[in-house]
Structure 1
Amino acid sequence: MSDMTGPDFSRNGGLLPAVAQDASTREVLMLAYMNEEAYAETVRTGRAVYYSRSRQRLWRKGEESGHQQQVQAIFVDCDADTILLLVEQVGAACHEGYKSCFFRQVVDGALVVTATQLKDPREIYNQESSS
């Protein structure tokens, strides 16, 4: 098996899932997508950059909120089609103001909020903003 140079962006329309995980606690913070340009900028700067499918452009995590992700390590899965970032999260990872985007849990078949909201998103983002 040959060594890969990085993720295989020739698949999946050039967008690969990228999981952000807290480097200290290993809590999964969010799932986003990266294209080759976002990945390259993340590697170069050490700050998480994603591709926003809704805005159709690069999304530099924290560009509006200030809630940046400082990348501590990058892993690529065995198929080279998923990226894992170990990050130091500054502020909330979720655009709804929670530490993690996974703040809802299925309990008895219903979604229940199981985390504390750190910040009201109306205090962070303008009306057009989304994740």
Structure 2
Amino acid sequence: LLGKALALLPRDKAEAMAEEVGQEYGRAMAQGLTGADRAADMAAGQRSLRSAMQAVADALSAHGFAAHADQRNNQLRIINNHCPFGDVAIEHPVICAVDRGMVKGMLATLYGDTDPSTLQSLAQGDTFCATAVS
């Protein structure tokens, strides 16, 4: 449904809307994380970017992305080896902005403001999705 709705908009507006939806969902996901480490992180302020990236990867994996955090050429990335959006993302690649927004929203809650960018995408024919974080 989201893919069809976004297809009715100009690409830049559709991408901005998809990313905003992802950010809202990402913030909600991050707020739902529980456990002693989360409570300690919140009491201390915020966690390190590396720790937040791992928490994001774990949360994405729990939602079907098969994600992990890594670093390549001094760049931190979230790698998704599976896309739960499936063929919808191939038909409507703007859906990838939802993933980027989820990363941004979770990191905003767990770490602080970041600027994620999509490096690779299954929807564009790559073998995995990669979101760089700076």
TM-score, normalisation: structure 2: 0.27
Bigger relative CO (Cα 8 Å, ≥ 6 apart): 2
Pair member with larger Rg: 1
TM-score, normalisation: structure 1: 0.27
In terms of fraction of residues, the more strand-rich structure is 1
